[in-house]
């Protein structure tokens, strides 16, 4: 009886919530319609026009007054934001507020690690906190719409924008996408501290040919749907307010003019009702692509494909009136785009609360924000090697030499897309080590090389002299911020300048050598890894990177980051990623290395498998790899059933034990292999992960609940289905190890 009452109450509550949401929606749509009904065609086109606000704003003011701008980018002084907003609200005929945007990619003032580093945390809850503080700081400065998260699957480290991505894996990227959307937008988009998110770049931009930015992609539909689209779909499900089209053309169609993508998939299949914004100038770049004849044609193609807002090209504002007057574009098409823009402005609460509170710049750089930035930096660091427990530094180490171009590079450690970060705030390793551990060890510091491309070795003698005085050497190498990011691609991802030589001479001293690498991408580091006793990969770790690293080096924090991308042994091994499909002749692991190939060997003596004679088939480090100061043992992998039907959820458990000396975190990773399908399947796919903390000798049962629909893929009939058959599960510390078991789907 009691149970019945509760169920009844829950039912009534759900009806109430549903009808409340419906009422709210109807009210919103009515507001949009009534605003729209009072607008001229030019004013409507104005809402779709997004312009840069850097430099002189006098001309901008005129356009705002005329109602010819809907959104302004890159104004971050709240006083200026309010001045422009006041013109829009009080002096333009429609009074529609502007929405101010910025690329808040990894923090606003308090810089977080670059997104690739954030992905290495495998800790979405923490990344959500990071996005939240970015939103709080950005909104304090008037920014209400961020062009992030960037969720392009990136499998080519030559591409500079891999730094902005969450790496090569679809599932990990999905989790990070949801985290950032939730962090930016909060529970309520109209909260003054919330900011609209923008999932970008739609679609396939990370797969540009040869890793050269802006290039074409050739992603077939199945791969597009299995690998590249899902993070966007998850972002949309998480109520992401906007989507940005990408620069590339896929299979001949530039994203900004791709109707199937923007209308059929995004609007019809996914029910997206937010804003689709172009990338910078990508409307008129369709002319250079050879896809549009001229600016007018570009505007027509874009708006008809389903683009709502034209970022910076001005093609919409210059052409839409004429396109409508001549009946080339229908007014309904224009209205739909304007509706989407107005919907965003209503949802952001801009009609009620258009101004930024200028007395409220209080939380930027707060202790809490700095602590979160430090925590993310700590968790992003990946321990790649730790021979004979070189790390953490023992109490016997009384003096250290700090060396290398990234040891005190406040600008570079902030990484790419650092529009608002301030170098004066950067905690570099030298600064942090001195401040935090200067009383425990004597710190010698010689940079050796001024910057990562520096080839000048004149200081190497001084470096050596100091190295001989020290008990241990910590070398901070890597790449400058400018070497990754947009348009910053490399044909060879080796270490630049004389950095490799620096590591060589340091290893020659026979002192414990700890190499810390700060970079925007995986670099080719085979030799440096083998010459070093310990290696930490720290990406570009942001404002608090130095403090995070200092605590890791001295063991106050145990590193637990995992690689979100496969590390190749040479640039020529790219593309190399863990979840590839198999060939009919996979590598066996028994292939002969180049040096062992007999002279005058006959063609067939080497066998016939898929590998490189000079590099083999394996990467330097696999996806998901990362050590700890402690060690973990996996055992007792079990599933609750061996045979399941499609509607079931599989329960999987594994025991993880801390078998080492330190308390530490471990990312327990679940991989599933679909052993047979109507089309070839990836050799394995990450389907879950859990970050746990264990004290020495502690063990935990880790349980994954895997709904079988998560195993669906786009099959031979281009339907997303789970196909019956045998599956293999592996749970481990990375993508290549751990116990396995099997199950079957009937
Ligand atoms: C980038 C976008 C960015 C936009 C606005 C473009 O060049 O591709 O990711 O959001 O500029 O700054």
Task: Tell me the pLDDT tens digit for each residue of 403-419.
Answer: 999 999 999 999 999 99
- Co-location of 549 and 636 in the same domain: no
- The verdict on residue 217 lying in a domain is no
- The verdict on residue 71 lying in a domain is no
Given phi > 0 = left and psi -120 to 50 = alpha, else beta, which region is 696? beta
Using CA atoms, how far residue 302 sits from 78, 99, 241, 313, 444, in Å, is: 33, 21, 19, 12, 59
Ligand 1, atom 8, lies closest to the CA of 279
Rounded distance, CA 566 to CA 572, Å?
14
Nearest-atom index, ligand 1, CA of 247: 8
Nearest-atom index, ligand 1, CA of 201: 9
Domain boundary residue, one of 505, 537, 553: 553
Q: What sign does the CA torsion over 435, 441, 446, 450 have? A: negative
CA–centroid distance, residue 280 to ligand 1 (Å): 6
User: What are the φ/ψ torsions at residue 56 (nearest 5 degrees)?
Assistant: -70, 140
Model confidence, pTM: 0.97
Rounded distance, CA 550 to CA 127, Å?
21
The verdict on whether 279 is a catalytic residue reads: yes
Nearest-atom index, ligand 1, CA of 148: 10
- Evaluate if residue 304 carries a pLDDT over 70: yes
SS3 102: strand
- Co-location of 526 and 659 in the same domain: no
- Co-location of 538 and 652 in the same domain: no
SS3 377: helix
Mean pLDDT of 250-274: 98
- Evaluate if residue 7 carries a pLDDT over 70: no
Ligand 1 in reach of 100 Cβ (< 6 A): no
Structure tokens at 183: 């962090």
For the chain, percent of residues with pLDDT exceeding 70:
97
Domain boundary residue, one of 534, 553, 572: 553
- Co-location of 540 and 643 in the same domain: no
Q: Peptide bond preceding 203: is omega within 30 degrees of 0, i.e. cis?
A: yes
Q: Which of 103, 279, 297, 308 is catalytic?
A: 279
CA–centroid distance, residue 74 to ligand 1 (Å): 11
Mean pLDDT of 80-94: 98
- The verdict on residue 731 lying in a domain is yes
Mean pLDDT of 70-94: 98
- The verdict on residue 687 lying in a domain is yes
The CATH number that applies at residue 721 is 2.60.40.10
- Co-location of 514 and 651 in the same domain: no
Position 362 scores a pLDDT of: 85
Position 359 scores a pLDDT of: 82
Ligand 1 in reach of 713 Cβ (< 6 A): no
Mean pLDDT of 250-265: 98
Domain boundary residue, one of 553, 572, 607: 553
Ligand 1 in reach of 200 Cβ (< 6 A): yes
Ligand 1 in reach of 285 Cβ (< 6 A): no
Structure tokens at 489: 């691609």
Torsion of CA 152, 153, 157, 159, to 10 degrees: -30
CA–centroid distance, residue 292 to ligand 1 (Å): 21
Average pLDDT for the chain: 96
Position 13 scores a pLDDT of: 60
- Co-location of 664 and 520 in the same domain: no
Position 4 scores a pLDDT of: 62
CA–centroid distance, residue 417 to ligand 1 (Å): 10
- Co-location of 408 and 516 in the same domain: yes
Nearest-atom index, ligand 1, CA of 164: 9
Rounded distance, CA 578 to CA 566, Å?
7
- Evaluate if residue 18 carries a pLDDT over 80: no
- The verdict on residue 594 lying in a domain is no
Ligand 1, atom 11, lies closest to the CA of 280
Range of the domain at 640: 632-745
Q: How many domains is the chain partitioned into structurally?
A: 2
CB-based contacts of 518: which residues, under 8 Å, 6+ apart? 406, 409, 412, 413, 476, 477, 478, 479, 538, 539, 540, 541, 545
Ligand 1 in reach of 486 Cβ (< 6 A): yes
- The verdict on residue 603 lying in a domain is no
- The verdict on residue 488 lying in a domain is yes
CA–centroid distance, residue 328 to ligand 1 (Å): 30
Ligand 1 in reach of 312 Cβ (< 6 A): no
Task: Please answer whether residues 643 and 743 qualify as being in contact, where contact means their C-beta atoms are separated by less than 8 angstroms.
Answer: yes
- The verdict on residue 325 lying in a domain is no
Mean pLDDT of 85-89: 98
Neighbours of 623 (CB within 10 A): 26
Residue 273 DSSP symbol: -
- Co-location of 509 and 656 in the same domain: no
Ligand 1 in reach of 527 Cβ (< 6 A): no
């Amino acid at each position: 009886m009691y149970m019945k009452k509760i169920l009844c109450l829950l039912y009534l509550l759900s009806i109430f919530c549903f009808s409340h949401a419906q009422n709210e929606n109807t009210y919103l749509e009515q507001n949009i319609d009534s605003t729209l009904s009072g607008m001229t065609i030019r004013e409507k086109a104005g809402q779709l026009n997004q312009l840069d606000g850097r430099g002189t704003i006098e001309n901008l003011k005129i356009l705002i007054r005329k109602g010819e701008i809907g959104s302004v980018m890159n104004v971050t002084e709240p006083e200026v934001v309010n001045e422009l907003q006041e013109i829009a609200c009080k002096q333009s005929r429609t009074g529609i507020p502007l929405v101010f945007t910025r690329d808040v990619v990894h923090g606003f003032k308090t810089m977080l690690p670059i997104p690739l580093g954030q992905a290495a945390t495998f800790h979405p809850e923490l990344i959500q906190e990071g996005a939240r503080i970015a939103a709080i700081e950005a909104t304090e400065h008037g920014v209400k719409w961020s062009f992030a998260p960037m969720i392009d699957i990136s499998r080519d480290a030559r591409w500079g924008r891999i730094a902005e991505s969450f790496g090569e894996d679809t599932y990990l990227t999905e989790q990070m996408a949801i985290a950032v959307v939730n962090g930016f937008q909060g529970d309520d988009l109209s909260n003054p501290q919330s900011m609209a998110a923008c999932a970008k770049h739609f679609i396939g931009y990370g797969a540009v040919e040869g890793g050269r930015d802006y290039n074409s992609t050739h992603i077939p539909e199945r791969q597009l749907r299995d690998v590249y689209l899902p993070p966007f779909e998850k972002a949309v499900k998480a109520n992401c307010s906007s989507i940005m089209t990408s620069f590339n053309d896929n299979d001949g169609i530039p994203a900004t003019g791709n109707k199937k993508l923007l209308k059929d998939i995004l609007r019809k299949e996914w029910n997206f009702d937010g804003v689709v914004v172009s990338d910078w100038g990508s409307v008129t770049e369709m002319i250079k692509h050879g896809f549009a004849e001229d600016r007018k044609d570009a505007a027509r193609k874009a708006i008809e494909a389903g683009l709502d807002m034209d970022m910076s090209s001005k093609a919409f504002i210059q052409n839409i009136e004429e396109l409508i007057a001549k009946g080339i574009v229908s007014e309904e098409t224009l209205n739909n785009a304007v509706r989407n823009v107005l919907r965003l402005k209503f949802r952001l609460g801009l009609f009620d609360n258009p101004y930024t509170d200028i007395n409220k710049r209080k939380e930027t750089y707060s202790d809490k924000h700095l602590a979160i930035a430090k925590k993310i930096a700590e968790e992003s660091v990946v321990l790649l090697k730790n021979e004979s427990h070189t790390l953490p530094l023992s109490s016997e180490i009384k003096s250290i030499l700090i060396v290398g171009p990234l040891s005190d590079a406040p600008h570079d450690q902030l990484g790419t897309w650092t529009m608002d970060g301030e170098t004066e705030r950067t905690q570099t390793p030298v600064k942090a080590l001195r401040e935090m551990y200067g009383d425990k060890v004597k710190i010698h510091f010689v940079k050796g090389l001024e910057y990562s491309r520096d080839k000048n070795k004149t200081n190497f003698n001084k470096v050596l002299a100091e190295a001989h005085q020290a008990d241990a050497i910590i070398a901070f190498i890597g790449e400058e911020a400018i070497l990754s990011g947009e348009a910053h691609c490399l044909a060879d991802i080796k270490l630049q300048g004389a950095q490799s030589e620096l590591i060589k001479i340091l290893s020659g001293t026979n002192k414990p050598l700890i190499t810390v690498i700060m970079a925007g991408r995986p670099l080719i580091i085979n030799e440096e890894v083998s010459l070093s006793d310990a290696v930490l990969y720290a990406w570009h770790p942001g404002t608090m990177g130095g403090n995070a690293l200092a605590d890791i080096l001295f063991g106050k924090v145990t590193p637990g980051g995992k690689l979100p991308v496969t590390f190749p042994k040479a640039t020529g091994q790219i593309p190399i990623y863990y979840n590839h499909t198999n060939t009919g002749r996979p590598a066996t692991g028994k292939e002969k290395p180049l040096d062992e190939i007999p002279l005058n060997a006959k063609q067939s003596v080497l066998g016939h498998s898929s590998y490189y004679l000079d590099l083999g088939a394996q990467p330097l480090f696999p996806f998901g790899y990362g050590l700890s100061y402690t060690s973990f043992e996996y055992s007792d992998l079990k599933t609750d059933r061996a045979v399941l039907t499609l509607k079931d959820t599989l329960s999987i458990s594994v025991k993880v034990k801390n078998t080492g000396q330190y308390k530490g975190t471990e990312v327990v990773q679940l991989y599933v292999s679909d052993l047979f399908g109507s089309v070839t399947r990836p050799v394995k796919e990450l389907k879950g992960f859990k970050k746990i903390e264990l004290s020495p000798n502690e063990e935990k049962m880790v349980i994954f609940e895997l709904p079988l629909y998560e195993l669906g893929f786009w099959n031979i009939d281009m339907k997303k289905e789970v196909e019956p058959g045998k599956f293999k599960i592996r749970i481990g510390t990375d993508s290549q190890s751990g116990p396995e078991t099997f199950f079957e789907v009937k």
